[in-house]
Amino acid sequence: MKYEKQPKTVEEHIEVLIKRGLNIPRPARAKIYLRNIGYYRLTGYMYHLQENDGSHEFKAKVSFNDIILHYQFDKKLRALTIEYLERIEVALRARLTDYFAVNYGFFWFNQVDLYDDKDIYRLINTEIAERFENPQELFLKSFKAKYTLESIPPSNMALEVLSLGKLARLYKGLSNNVEKMTIAKDFGLPSSVLSTWFIYLNNVRNICAHHGRLWNRGITADRPTIPTRKQYSFNGNLPNDFNRSFYGVTAMIDRLLLNINPNNRFVENVVNLIDDYASINTRFMGFPDNWRENAAWDRHAL
C-alpha cells in the first residue's frame, strides 16, 4: 500500500479537527500549539478522546484544551520519571565500581572470567575502548594524556560513559558472584529479577529522554519479571498489564528507591501530579480503580 496522504497546513489541520467535532474556542491559540508541537505529536493525545469506531470523531464536549492538558501532564510525568530514574542509574553505577574494583581492581570490567555472557563482555569493552580512543569527556582526555601506557580507563571513569542501557546489560551479563548478589541485596531484589527491571526501566528512560508519550503507553519491550515470593511481592491484586503500564513503572521505581533513597518523594510527586490534573483518567495508565486505598506500593498492607 502506498502512502498517499497530502500534507496540510496548520489552518487545514484546525479545520479537520473542527469537522471531527472538536471544540476549538480560540483558534489562534490552537494554531500556536500546532505550530510549536506539531499535529502528528498531538494526535497521540487525541485517540482516547475520540469515538472508538474508526471515524476519528471526538466525543461530546471535548475541547482542544483537553488535548493540551494531557500533553502537559505527560510532559511533566516524563520529567518526574527521568529525574528519579537518574538516581537509580547513578546508584547502580556507583555500586558496580565500588564493589568490583575493591576486589578485582579498577580494570575489573576487562576480566572475561567475571562474565557469564561473553557477548556482553565484548559489547561493554568495545564501547569503553571506542569512547577512550577518541575521548570527548574532559576527564578521559586528562587521564589519557597523563597515563599514556593505558589503553582503557579505570572503572570509576569507564562506567561514567556507559548509558543506563549498557549498565543494565553489564549487570545482567556478570556472573552471579558475591559482588553482584550484594548489589541485588542493596536494591532489595533477587539478582535475576533486578536484571529484568534495569533493562525494562531503561526502555522507560529512553521514552522520557526522547520525548515520547508515556502516560498511557503500553511498554511491551523487555517486560520485567514481577516477583511472587512474599518478601518481594507487591501489595494487592496486580492488574494483568502491571508489567507494561505506568502503574507498574511507578511501583518498580518506588521499590528500587526505597532501598537506596528511602526518603524520596517519587510516589508523592506522582500522586500530586495526578491530583493537579484531575481530568486525567488513570485507568489509561494502568491504575486500578482502588489504587488510592490499596496501591501496589503500599507497604503498610504487606
Q: What are the tens digits of pLDDT across the range 186-219? A: 999 999 999 999 999 999 999 999 999 999 999 8
User: Count of CB atoms within 10 A of residue 291's CB?
Assistant: 21
**Average pLDDT for residues 228-246, to the nearest whole number?**
92
Mean pLDDT score, 19-36: 95
Whole-angstrom distance, CA of residue 196 vs CA of residue 216? 21
* Residue 75: other Cβ atoms inside 10 A: 16
- What does the pLDDT average to over 271-288? 95
Contact in structure between 259 and 231 (CB atoms under 8 Å)? no
pLDDT of residue 297: 94
Cα separation values, 145 from 125, 140, 219, Å: 20, 8, 44
Of 302 and 269, the one with more pLDDT:
269
Cα–Cα distance for residue pair 208/123, rounded to 1 Å: 24
pLDDT at 6: 87
Here the cell at position 120 is 556482553
What is the rounded CA–CA span in Å between residue 63 and residue 67? 7
CB 194 within 8 A of CB 224: no
Residues 59-98 have pLDDT tens digits of: 999 999 999 999 999 999 999 999 999 999 999 999 999 9
Rounded average pLDDT over 90-112: 96
User: Quick check: 170 and 124 in contact, CB under 8 A?
Assistant: yes
Distance CA 47, CA 56 (A): 8
Distance between CA atoms of residues 44 and 218, nearest Å = 13
pLDDT confidence band for 302 (50 / 70 / 90): very low
Task: Give residue 300's pLDDT.
Answer: 56
Contacts of 114 (CB under 8 A, 6+ apart): 100, 104, 108, 174, 175, 177
The position carrying cell 593505558 is 150
pLDDT-based confidence at 255, cuts 50/70/90?
A: very high
CA–CA separation, 201 vs 164, rounded Å?
9
Average pLDDT of every residue of the chain:
94
What nine digits make up the cell of 203? 526502555
Q: Is the pLDDT of residue 301 over 80?
A: no
